[in-house]
Amino acid sequence: MKRIINTEKAPKAVGPYSQAVEANGTLYISGQLPIDPATGKFVEGGVKEQTEQVFKNIEAILDAAGYSFNDVVKSTVLLNDIADFAAMNEVYATIYTQDMPARAAYQVAKLPMAALVEIETIAVK
């Protein structure tokens, strides 16, 4: 059975997709951008501030679905510039402090709306 997850505490989808979909105890969270849901705009600052906002958005979606960061099993990090990896990773390490999820990180040619970072997440109950 498929359940669509949507919360006002995270940014609205910027295209034809859901914030998240739960199927058979697995939650698939679409790539989250550093958009502040209160303003609909990117947070100010660099990759650290953007990564912090991305995790706030992920947390809101996890919470809306009844999950937490402890349930996360896989993250995919997309970076505008791989040189930002260390700064992103510094924030990432404050979220996942034990039993870390599997992860891949890539530099991409361009992210939506010129974001510096986007993270998609899979969680399992």
- pLDDT above 90 as % of the chain: 97
The DSSP-derived string for 29-59 is EEEEPSEETTTTEEPSSSHHHHHHHHHHHHH
Is residue 37 pLDDT above 90, yes or no? yes
Alpha-carbon distance 107 to 122, whole Å?
Answer: 20
User: What mean pLDDT is predicted for residues 46-69?
Assistant: 98
Q: Quote the pTM value.
A: 0.97
pLDDT score of 110: 95
Amino acid of residue 67: Y
Alpha-carbon distance 12 to 18, whole Å?
Answer: 9
pLDDT score of 15: 87
- The CATH number corresponding to 2-124 among 3.30.1330.40, 3.20.20.70, 3.50.50.60, 3.40.50.620 equals 3.30.1330.40
User: What mean pLDDT is predicted for residues 37-52?
Assistant: 97
